[in-house]
Amino acid sequence: MNGAQAEEKNKQYVLVVDPNLHDRLDTCLLLLKFGRNIFTAGTAEEALEYMNLAPPVAVVAVTEPGGPTLLSRIKNDLRFLNVPLILLSSSPDPSLEEEARKGGFAAYLRKPLDVEEFYRVVQTVIEKGPRRKIRIAAYLPASLADPRGAGQGHITVLSEAGSFFRTLDLRPKGSLLSLKFELKGRAIEAEATVLYSSTFDEGPSKEPGMGIKFRKISHEDRELIRAFILERIREGTAKLSTKN
């Protein structure tokens, strides 16, 4: 991604429409932890004011007091035809999901939200190549080793599938290495592959380091990473839940 593309991506936002302030804040906090820019609205009218200024990449709206109303108004405006809507509802009525599908919503989710399901839905409706595993910002001291030698750095992005290892000592794409770091008092070790590397020269939004995919990691270590990520995601949210 070049500088212009990165700047354009930073301008993209998800619009959250919910008349309940506490629910709206919970949803927004979760999206922020997913790395999304957001705007919020309490009514369909407020939502359309934002959309008239700049279309969002997605709208997350509740069923009341006007999810369908908002949808119908958006569908009648050619500028917003390609904006996906994710419908949230606390109603136990199973027919609402079918109505949402027929009504043109991109997805239907029940509140309280399942964190991982919500992440997958947001990724699917926004990204061309959606990630399945939640990624979070982190700052974990770590070390790597390969036939070339050992190196020190920090994990600044973490998921069950891999990490971003911040360092100036880069390895070529495809390199195999061993990555070690500590999480909640436990030593984690994984065999990994370098997917890409970046440097300061690629633009102000790039930090130097390597994107790393875990090739081999124990089930216990992967589950610990998953639990750590969900714990961090839930911090500060009052009503979000996860399925176990």
- Write the pLDDT tens digit of every residue in 163-182: 999 999 999 999 999 999 99
Angle between helices 21-33 and 219-234 (to 10 degrees): 140
Q: What is the pLDDT of residues 116-159, one digit of tens each?
A: 999 999 999 998 877 888 999 899 999 999 999 999 999 999 99
Question: CA dihedral in degrees (64, 35, 184, 178; nearest 10)?
Answer: 140
> Residue 244: is its pLDDT beyond 50?
no
Average of per-residue pLDDT across 46-67: 82
Q: Contact, 158 vs 136, CB < 8 A?
A: yes
pTM of the model: 0.77
Instruction: Please state, rounded to an integer, the average pLDDT across all residues of the chain.
Output: 85
Grade residue 242 by pLDDT with cuts at 50, 70 and 90: very low
